[in-house]
Amino acid sequence: MTSRFPGYDVLAKRNTLSWNEPTRRAIDKRIAVPPGPRFFSVTEWETLCAVCARIVPQPRDRPPVPLPAYVDEKMFENQSDGYRFAELPPQGEAWKTGLAAIEAEAQAAHRAGFHELAATEQDALLRRMQKGELDGPPWRGMPSALFFNKHVLHDIVSAYYAHPTAWSEIGWAGPASPRGFVRLDKGMRDPWEATEAYPGKEDKARRENQRVV
């Protein structure tokens, strides 16, 4: 996959004026996420890893963002979103129920663990969950579509875009602390922001992205 922001690494800003000590501390802590699992059982963890790989497939040419570890950490430390849908149990319970149910659906349909299925089979199962078609006893009355939207998508995608690897990929400059943004109109960028590569101008963007600090 060709990068839209070639040569841009948001972590190169770590020791520049763009970031201060609290910012560095926060991001260091985020990168140093414990590998897990601390909250989930081994079976749940295997299922979670397989779900994450289907929700946000990652390129092989760079270290992946450890998505299951972030979901596990969020549940382990009970970092709540501050709200809960009335139809859903508390987030930890929802995830445990959901993962067990996904695993049970895989066993029922394919006589294999979810993580052992082919990607297409996994996708088919996830799609049925997204449409709310899964409502057997393992779900314990939890609406599968709501679980998919409010936890599977929300927690995994949030974890992905909270990681510097994703920031480099989308050309985001990282936390605006202390240095924020000045040029806010469309098509404008500050000198400390990534340069987007336009077709045929990739090398120019790559050169400019070496200088982004």
Tell which one of 178, 203, 204, 211 touches other proteins (CB under 8 A). Answer: 178
Taking the complex as a whole, the smallest distance from the CB of residue 211 to other proteins amounts, in Å, to: 13
Q: What φ, ψ does residue 178 adopt, rounded to 5°?
A: -85, -20
Helix (H) or strand (E) holding 69: helix 67-76
What is d(CA 117, CA 106) in angstroms, rounded to the nearest whole number? 8
What is d(CA 88, CA 38) in angstroms, rounded to the nearest whole number? 22
Total binding residues toward other proteins, as defined by CB under 8 A: 12
Q: Where does this chain touch other proteins (CB under 8 A) — which range of 51-59, 87-95, 148-156, 184-192? A: 184-192
DSSP letters spanning 127-169: HHHHTT---SGGGTT--HHHHIIIIIIHHHHHHHHTSHHHHHH
The yes or no reply on residue 210 touching other proteins (CB under 8 A) is: no
Going residue by residue from 7 to 26, which x/- string records binding to other proteins, judged by CB under 8 A?
Answer: ----------x--x------
Going residue by residue from 136 to 175, which x/- string records binding to other proteins, judged by CB under 8 A?
Answer: ----------------------------------------
Tell which one of 112, 118, 162, 182 touches other proteins (CB under 8 A). Answer: 182
Q: How far is CA 148 from the centre of its chain?
A: 14
The yes or no reply on residue 192 touching other proteins (CB under 8 A) is: yes
Taking the complex as a whole, the smallest distance from the CB of residue 212 to other proteins amounts, in Å, to: 12
Cis status, amide bond into 138, omega within 30 of 0: no
